[in-house]
Amino acid sequence: MKPRCFALLLALALSGGTAQAADNQLTAAEKSAGWSLLFDGQSLQGWRGYRLKGLPENLGWEIRDGTLHAKGEKYDMSNIPMAQFRKSELITEKTYNDFELSWDWRISKAGNSGLKYLVTEERPNAPGPEYQMMDDANHPDGKVGPTHHTGAFYDVLPGAADKASPVGQWNTSKIVIRGNQLEHWLNGHKVVSSILGSSEVKAGLAKSKFKSEPGFGEKIAGHFMLTYHGDETWVKNIKVRELK
């Protein structure tokens, strides 16, 4: 057997016999299952600024080494209106209703970021629910409690900081919405499972900063948003599968 063939067979054996796609690419099986890429590693095609027709002038994100990289600009968040950060955030041009969304990410030390979904441009103070991505051990928000931990439905339903990789290492996250059923996954663990509009979600909303935002936490067809909090964050392999 030729060395190259042996190396290929060995790689397949170590991966359980399943071909692995390179970063920001899909395997044949993923394509067959209906997955599509939201980031190709080289461009921002398919993305635009929130409430903008094109990209923001002061873009907080850049493409670096095949990742979407949030530039690190440390701010005292208590003195900066969220509207300023919203000018650096990105949303998908397309909206999604029922879907499975997957992405890989890592965060800088004491960093905080998030990915929002069911995003509407009609509610700028609370565009949509947020999947929390954070260095729980070193960011002050991590000490607020489980509803601010990695994987949380931010400020509404608790996440699971213990399922996150050490800071600086890659995580794989997933959001699944089918009908009103909501799931957050973190590194293969289901960390949130609830029903949008349920008594559980309403109780969480009533104690959250979103309690006065009409329609927040309810099921709508919406965009995905990459938030920007001034902390270095890296994202890649963003892909979605629409569910019928």
Residue 87 binned pLDDT confidence (cut-offs 50, 70, 90)? low
Q: Which amino acid is at 200?
A: E
Q: What is the pLDDT of the chain when averaged over all its residues?
A: 89
Quick check: 129 pLDDT over 80?
Answer: yes
C-alpha span between 131 and 184 (Å, rounded): 8
d(CA 79, CA 97): 35
Distance CA 148, CA 139 (A): 10
Rounded-to-integer distance, Cα 184 and Cα 212, Å: 24
141 CB-near residues (< 8 Å, 6+ apart): 112, 134, 148
* pLDDT of the residue at 56: 82
pLDDT at residue number 119: 98
| pLDDT at residue 18 greater than cutoff 70 | no
Nearest-angstrom CA–CA distance, 180 and 183? 10
Residue 76 scores a pLDDT above 60: no
Tell the burial category of 69 from Cβ atoms under 10 Å away from its Cβ (0-12, 13-18, 19+). Answer: middle
Q: CA 108, CA 231: separation in Å to the nearest integer?
A: 7
For residues 66-82, average pLDDT: 68
Residue pLDDT, tens place only, 173-213:
999 999 999 999 999 999 999 999 999 999 999 999 999 99
Read off the pLDDT of residues 96-108 as tens digits, 9 standing for 90 and up. 999 999 999 999 9
Residues paired with residue 99 on neighbouring β-strands, in sequence order: 177, 242
| Residue-level pLDDT at 3 | 47
DSSP codes, 4-59: HHHHHHHHHHHTTT---PPTT---HHHHHTTEEES--SS--TTEEETT-SS--SS-
**Is the pLDDT score of 65 beyond 70?**
yes
Q: Which domains does the chain possess?
A: 33-242 (2.60.120.560)
DSSP 202: H
- Rounded-to-integer distance, Cα 25 and Cα 37, Å: 7
